[in-house]
Chains A and B, each alone.
Chain A
């Protein structure tokens, strides 16, 4: 039944909630069916059941070890990016000279493919966590700088004028007017950055690592264990999704006022 045609709002809401799950389960069932009917070998396309089996076959402690290695780098890169990018965005807002100087450099850094630079970083800094965190930071900090700067610049001019007419110091103007106005933009940037952080960690693991989900996927592929590689990929997608959701929950819990008002 089309939810729009339903007159019962509760039924409509339940249908809306169930729709993505029904679609997802249906897709998996179709995938399984195609693999079984066409008798596809696992190296062409492994069936979901084969992927699930591969997932179970790997010891839980190994999954946790690889997960922790990726998560550690991704989160360190993400939080260091926050610590770097928000002050840069504020500094750029306060100084046109700094903006003119830094912005082109940031664009150049962002335009340089990290995949191409990653091997050089590993050679220069070694193949430990610091180089992997730097690779992650290079991917994540730009969207944060841009979104924070955009938010800060969108503060209504009349509020800034009011603040200045009352002789408010710059620090107060920044913390009490500009930053709150930037919060929705900052969270948009954080949502992009957290998914990029996982990508950054995986790219770094592709170049040099002894553990981590990226390393695990590459390892599995080199041994033609395609279902195992898919299991790693699936795990990675779930982690990305959970991290994305955790940013959303953080906004809902601590900055609920910054969320767009729901349509009644």
Chain B
């Protein structure tokens, strides 16, 4: 007869064996998340999702790859180097219209355009219309450049209303502060950064967002490779469920989110990241998301976004049915 101790050992061994077996059978799903630029506060939710264990809870192991612009991010997803990530839906629509790339938008992140004019607080540019006749500097590869003529048009100004110069993104702030240009074009996600740079020279920045001047469109979105969505739809759903939790956490805890980002990318200053997060949240949580829900693409706004994108990129409006760039059904209930 088996002794009580032996039986206990046998049971423990069986249990351990079962646990190991179970663990092997349910190894976490690996997902490569593609950033559209370098890590920063505006990219915080994915880092928060990892640090807070939201992805682990969904049995997903996320690795992050940095990118060099939306087009680069879309290309990397199209070629299978990454599964899901952030990119401007405008860049995706333009790419689909021209090349039918196998990538689709699944979650609306920025429901307002992030583009803006930045001027010095003591300049005479107080409204968008004051920009006429001024010198404006922008970086060569930003998607903002395509929308500039539309903003000028919306405000009854000709396309050549400003003298545009293109410069390295890192040089824009110094150019503005030293008076080499009257205004620059940048994203509102970087207001805190530009303000801190201006403060060093004893100056302040005024921001004129284009969204307040009639540019109503979706911008940075979560997009995914069609292959990923077709082959692993459940993983995509679970990913977005965890991501949505991370977005909410980031909104409620910008400082903690900054620290999470810093923990994974030590070069990012947690305070600067917290500032960027606060600037970014206005693009994610606003009147549009209040009405439609977080992550939701409405057909009307998608159509409107494509109208802007096609005009900005000089593409015929019938080159793409904008609805084909979106795949709904992956986001969790959000209202």
Contact = CB atoms under 8 A, between A and B. Distances in A.
Interface stretch (B74-82, B92-100, B108-116, B213-221): B74-82
A264 B177 CA distance: 58
B178 interface: yes
Interface residues of B, number: 31
B170 A222 contact: yes
A222 B40 contact: yes
A222 B38 contact: yes
Contact of A222 (B76, B79, B169, B197): B169
B28 to A, nearest CB: 20
Contacts, number: 66
A119 interface: yes
B128 interface: no
A43 B175 CA distance: 10
A134 interface: no
B267 A62 contact: yes
Given A43-B177, A43-B200, A210-B65, A219 B193 contact: no
B170 A221 contact: yes
A216 B38 CA distance: 10
Given A223-B268, A223-B269, A41 B177 contact: yes
Contacts of A219: 38-39, 267
Contacts of B81: 123, 126-127
A253 B246 CA distance: 58
A62 B266 contact: yes
Interface residues on A, range: 20 to 34
A48 B89 CA distance: 43
Contacts of A62: 266-267
A41 B200 contact: yes
B44 to A, nearest CB: 14
Interface string B21-41: 000000000000000011110
A224 B38 CA distance: 13
Contacts of A221: 168-170
A41 B197 CA distance: 9
B40 A43 contact: no
Interface string B210-231: 0000000000000000000000
Interface in A202-225: 206-210, 215-216, 218-224
A105 to B, nearest CB: 27
B22 to A, nearest CB: 32
Contacts of B169: 221-222
Contacts of B174: 41, 43-44
Given A123-B76, A123-B81, A221-B169, 11 more contacts: A42-B200, A43-B177, A58-B267, A123-B79, A210-B64, A210-B65, A216-B267, A218-B38, A219-B39, A220-B267, A223-B269
Interface of A: 41-44, 58-59, 62, 119, 123-124, 126-127, 206-210, 215-216, 218-224, 226, 229
Interface of B: 37-40, 64-68, 72, 75-76, 79, 81, 168-170, 173-174, 177-178, 193, 196-197, 200-201, 266-269, 272
